[in-house]
C-alpha cells in the first residue's frame, strides 16, 4: 500500500487529500535548511513536489533561502524543477531574485527555467512614477473593493496577473533597501509581500490576498486543542523566521489575532510584520549602526523580541480558553484550566507571559516544545490507559469536556449550579439516579453527565438515555467538514491534544465518538425497544423538554 504521505503533483485539488500539518512541517524543514528532518520525510514517502495553497514547493523555499544542500537533496528525489507557484514564479526565478548564484547554476543544470522571461520584474523611472518589482499597468482595478483600514491607510482588493491581491497605499516613500528587504522575505507562515510601486509621495504595497479572514473572527469561543496546537505552531514558525532574519531580526511588535490570517489550507500567516520595518530607520540604515552603541542596540532588540513572545503566550491562552488572560483567575478556573491541558503546554504559556522579559523562551524553543507535544499525541493514538484518556463530562449545554488531572465532583458542579453529577455507567432505566457526593473524585476513563437538581430523586427514563445519545451524535456531526473529520474536545484521547494520524484513504477516516458502550444501558435490547416505543404527550415549553409516555 502506498504511504499516506505520498502525493504526486497533479493540481491544487489534490492538496486537500493530504494532511496539511505534514505539508507545513515538510516546507518548514526546507525553509530553515533542516536537511535531516527533510530527508527523513522524503524517505518515508512524501513527494518532493507537495505544495501549499500558494503552490509553493520545498524547492521554491530552499531556493529563496539559499540552502544549496537542500536544493540538491530535493533534486536527487526527482523534484520538479519548473513548477510555478501562485505568482507564476519558478524556483530559478526565486533564486535569481534573491541573488543565490550557486543555486541558479544547480537549477539550470537540471533544466530550470526563469518565469521572468515572460513577466519581467522591472525597475524603471517614468515622468510621475517609479515601479519597483511590479508593473503598475498589470493592476486591474475593476471590481476592486475596500477590505480594511490598516495602520497606514486603506487596503483594497485588486487583481494582478489574474490573481486577487491586496493594495495598500502609504503616505510615505521608503528607501530601496526597505523594498529589497521586504521582497526577500519568503515563508509559508508569513503573508507574502509581492512588491511595491512608488507614485509621487506615496508608496503602494502589494501583498497576497487571503479571503478566509483572521484568527480574531474565530476566537468567539475556545478552539479544540488540536486546532489550537496547529495554529500555535504556525505562529511560532513564522515568528521564528522573522526573528532569525540576518543581519538583523525583524520584530513584529503588534502580534495580535487580527494580524493572523487564515489561508485556504486552514493555516495561519502573519501579517503586518512590515509595519516595524517601515516605521524603523534601523532596517533602512543597517550600515549606520556603530560599535559604540552596539550593546544598547542589541539590548533594545532583545527586549522587543520578548514582546512578541509575550503576545504569543496571550494568543495561545486565548485559543485554548476562548477568553483573554487576566490577572484575577479564581482557584476554580485554575483547577479546571490545569485539568484540561498537559503540563508542558501550561508551563509554556507561563514562560511566554513571564513578567521578566529575559526569562521568556525563544520561538525556536517554542517550536521544539510544540512539535514534541504533537509527536507524543500522535504516538499515543486513540487508545492508551485510563489516565491518558482522562474524564469526560457532558454539561447541560451539550458541551463535552475533558479533564486529565484528578478532580472532584464539587469543582465541576460549582461551574454549573443547580445540577448534580452522575456516572453514566450507573444509569439504568427504571432505577433512581445515583448522584455523586460533592467530595467524590471523578474516576479516570469514565463518562459523567449532569442533570437538574430537581431530578436527583427521580427515576432514569428512556428519554434521559436518548438525550445522551443525541448529544453524542450531534457533537460528532458538528465537526464534520467534507471528507475531513476534525477531532472535537470530546474525542481527544491524549492530554487534550490528539492529532488525527494520516490514513491511506482520507475519505474513509472515521471520527471517534463518545464511547456509548461505557453507558451500559445503551447496549441492552430492553432499552432499544422502550426507546422506539416512546412518544411525546405534550411539550413543556418553559423547560424546553418533553414529557415521555411509554407503551407497556
Euclidean distance between CA atoms 505 and 252, whole angstroms: 40
DSSP 8-state assignment for residue 552: -
The Cα 145–Cα 235 span in angstroms is 28
pLDDT attached to residue 280: 57
Half-sphere exposure of 455 (CA within 13 A, CB side): 16
What is the tens place of the pLDDT at every residue in 388-405? 567 888 888 878 888 777
> Per-domain residue ranges for the chain?
20-110, 136-210, 214-281+297-379, 391-474
Which has the higher per-residue pLDDT, 444 or 9?
444
Most confident of 65-79, 89-103, 126-140: 65-79
Instruction: Give the residue with greater pLDDT, 315 vs 485.
Output: 315
Residue % of the chain over a pLDDT of 70: 62
* Least confident segment among 2-6, 30-34, 399-403, 436-440: 2-6
Q: What burial class does residue 110 get, using C-beta atoms within 10 Å of its C-beta: 0-12 exposed, 13-18 middle, 19+ buried?
A: middle
Q: pLDDT grade, residue 478 (50/70/90)?
A: very low
Query: What is residue 379's predicted lDDT score, i.e. its pLDDT?
Result: 55
**With 80 as the cut, is the pLDDT of residue 47 above it?**
yes
Q: Helix, strand, coil % (nearest 5) of the chain?
A: 45, 20, 40
Most confident of 9-23, 289-303, 413-427: 413-427
Q: Residue 330: what pLDDT?
A: 52
Tell me what the mean pLDDT of segment 34-41 comes to: 88
Q: Give 435-438 contacts, CB < 8 A, sequence gap 24+.
A: 436/409, 437/409, 438/408, 438/409, 438/410, 438/413
Euclidean distance between CA atoms 383 and 376, whole angstroms: 13
Among the residue ranges 65-69, 79-83, 338-342, the one predicted with the least confidence is: 338-342
What's residue 539's pLDDT?
44
SS3 letters for 474-515? Answer: HHHHHCEECCEECCCHHHCCCCCCCCCCCCCCHHHCCCCCCC
Q: What is the pLDDT of residue 129?
A: 37
CATH number for the region 391-474 comes to 3.10.20
CA dihedral 387, 389, 392, 398 (to 10 degrees): 160
Whether residue 154 is predicted with pLDDT greater than 90 in this model: the reply is no
What confidence score (pLDDT) does residue 130 get? 37
Confidence check: pLDDT of 423 > 80: yes
**Residue that has been written with the C-alpha cell 471528507 in this structure:** 483
The better pLDDT of the pair 28, 319 is held by 319
CATH number corresponding to 214-281+297-379:
1.10.510.10
First vs last Cα of the chain: how many Å apart?
54
Q: Report DSSP letters for 237-272, one per residue.
A: HHHHHHHT-SSSPPP-S---GGGEEE-TTS-EEE--
The conformational region for residue 84 under phi > 0 = left, psi -120 to 50 = alpha, else beta, is beta
**Is residue 391 exposed (0-12), middle (13-18) or buried (19+ Cβ within 10 Å)?**
buried
Q: Give yes or no for residue 362 having a pLDDT over 90.
A: yes
Give the model's pLDDT for residue 176: 65
- Span 459-484, average pLDDT: 62
Band (pLDDT 50/70/90 cuts) for residue 409 is: confident
Alpha helices of 112-265 — where are they, by DSSP H? 176-184, 215-218, 225-243
pLDDT at 71 over 90: yes
Q: Helix count (H) and strand count (E) of the chain?
A: 19, 17
> Would you place residue 495 in the very low, low, confident or very high pLDDT band (cuts 50, 70, 90)?
very low
C-alpha cell at 424: 453514566
Q: Above pLDDT 90, what percent of the chain?
A: 16
Q: Round the average pLDDT of the chain to a whole number and report it.
A: 71
376 vs 236, higher pLDDT: 236
Asked: is 20-110 a CATH 1.25.40.20 domain? The reply is yes
pLDDT at 549: 45
pLDDT of residue 233: 93
The CATH class of 136-210 is: alpha beta
Output the pLDDT for position 139. 60
Mention every residue, 6+ apart, whose C-beta is less than 8 A from residue 74.
30, 38, 48, 58, 59, 62
Question: What pLDDT was estimated at residue 296?
Answer: 44
Instruction: Identify the pLDDT of residue 270.
Output: 93
- pLDDT classification of 227: cutoffs 50, 70, 90: confident
Q: Are 176 and 187 in contact (CB under 8 A)?
A: no
Question: Does residue 407 have a pLDDT over 70?
Answer: yes
pLDDT at 361: 94
| pLDDT range class, residue 490, cuts 50, 70, 90 | very low
In this predicted structure, the answer to whether residue 312 has a pLDDT above a threshold of 90 is yes
CA distance 49 to 78: 9
pLDDT, residue 517, reads 43
Q: Does the pLDDT value for residue 511 go beyond 50?
A: no
Amino acid at each position: 500500500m502506498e504511504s499516506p504521505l505520498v502525493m504526486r503533483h497533479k493540481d491544487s485539488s489534490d492538496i486537500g487529500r493530504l494532511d496539511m500539518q505534514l505539508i507545513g512541517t515538510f516546507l518548514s524543514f526546507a525553509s530553515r535548511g533542516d536537511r535531516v528532518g527533510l530527508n527523513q520525510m522524503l524517505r518515508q514517502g512524501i513527494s518532493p513536489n507537495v505544495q501549499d495553497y500558494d503552490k509553493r514547493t520545498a524547492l521554491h523555499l530552499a531556493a529563496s533561502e539559499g540552502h544549496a544542500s537542500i536544493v540538491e537533496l530535493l533534486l536527487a528525489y526527482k523534484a520538479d524543477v519548473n513548477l510555478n507557484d501562485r505568482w507564476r514564479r519558478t524556483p530559478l526565478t526565486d533564486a535569481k531574485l534573491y541573488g543565490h548564484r550557486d543555486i541558479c547554476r544547480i537549477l539550470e543544470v537540471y533544466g530550470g527555467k526563469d518565469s521572468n522571461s515572460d513577466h519581467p520584474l522591472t525597475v524603471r523611472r517614468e515622468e510621475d512614477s517609479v515601479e519597483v518589482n511590479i508593473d503598475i499597468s498589470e493592476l486591474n482595478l475593476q471590481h476592486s473593493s475596500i477590505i480594511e483600514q490598516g495602520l497606514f491607510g486603506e487596503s483594497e482588493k485588486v487583481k494582478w496577473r489574474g490573481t486577487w491581491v491586496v493594495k495598500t497605499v502609504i503616505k510615505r516613500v521608503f528607501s530601496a533597501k526597505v523594498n529589497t528587504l521586504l521582497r526577500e522575505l519568503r515563508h509559508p507562515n508569513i503573508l507574502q509581500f509581492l512588491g511595491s510601486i512608488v507614485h509621487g509621495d506615496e508608496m503602494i504595497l502589494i501583498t497576497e490576498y487571503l479571503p478566509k479572514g483572521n484568527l480574531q473572527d474565530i476566537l468567539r469561543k475556545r478552539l479544540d486543542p488540536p486546532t489550537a496546537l496547529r495554529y500555535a505552531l504556525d505562529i511560532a514558525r513564522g515568528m521564528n523566521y522573522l526573528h532569525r532574519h540576518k543581519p538583523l531580526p525583524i520584530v513584529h511588535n503588534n502580534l495580535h489575532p487580527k494580524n493572523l490570517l487564515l489561508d485556504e489550507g486552514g493555516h495561519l500567516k502573519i501579517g503586518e510584520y512590515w509595519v516595524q520595518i517601515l516605521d524603523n530607520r534601523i532596517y533602512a540604515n543597517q550600515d549606520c549602526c556603530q560599535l559604540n552603541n552596539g550593546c544598547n542596540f542589541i539590548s533594545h532588540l532583545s527586549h522587543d523580541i520578548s514582546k512578541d513572545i509575550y503576545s504569543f503566550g496571550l494568543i495561545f491562552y486565548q485559543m485554548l480558553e476562548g477568553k483573554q488572560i487576566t490577572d484575577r483567575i479564581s482557584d476554580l478556573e485554575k483547577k479546571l484550566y490545569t485539568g484540561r491541558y498537559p503540563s508542558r503546554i501550561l508551563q509554556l504559556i507561563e514562560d511566554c507571559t513571564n513578567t521578566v522579559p529575559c526569562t521568556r523562551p525563544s520561538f525556536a524553543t517554542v517550536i521544539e516544545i510544540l512539535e514534541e507535544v504533537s509527536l507524543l499525541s500522535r504516538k499515543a493514538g486513540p487508545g492508551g490507559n485510563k489516565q491518558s484518556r482522562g474524564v469526560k463530562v457532558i454539561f447541560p449545554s451539550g458541551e463535552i469536556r475533558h479533564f486529565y488531572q484528578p478532580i472532584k465532583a464539587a469543582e465541576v458542579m460549582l461551574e454549573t449550579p443547580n445540577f448534580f453529577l452522575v456516572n453514566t455507567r450507573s444509569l439504568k432505566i427504571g432505577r433512581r439516579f445515583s448522584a455523586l457526593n460533592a467530595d467524590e473524585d471523578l474516576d479516570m476513563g469514565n463518562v459523567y453527565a449532569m442533570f437538574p437538581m430537581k431530578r436527583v430523586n427521580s427515576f432514569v427514563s428512556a428519554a434521559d438515555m436518548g438525550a445522551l445519545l443525541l448529544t453524542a451524535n450531534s457533537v460528532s456531526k458538528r465537526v464534520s467538514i467534507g471528507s475531513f473529520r476534525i477531532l472535537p474536545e470530546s474525542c481527544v484521547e491524549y492530554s487534550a491534544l490528539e492529532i488525527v494520524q494520516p490514513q491511506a484513504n482520507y475519505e474513509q477516516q472515521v471520527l471517534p465518538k463518545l464511547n456509548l458502550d461505557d453507558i451500559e444501558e445503551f447496549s441492552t435490547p430492553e432499552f432499544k425497544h422502550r426507546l422506539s416505543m416512546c412518544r411525546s404527550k405534550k411539550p413543556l415549553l418553559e423547560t424546553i423538554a418533553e414529557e415521555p409516555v411509554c407503551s407497556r
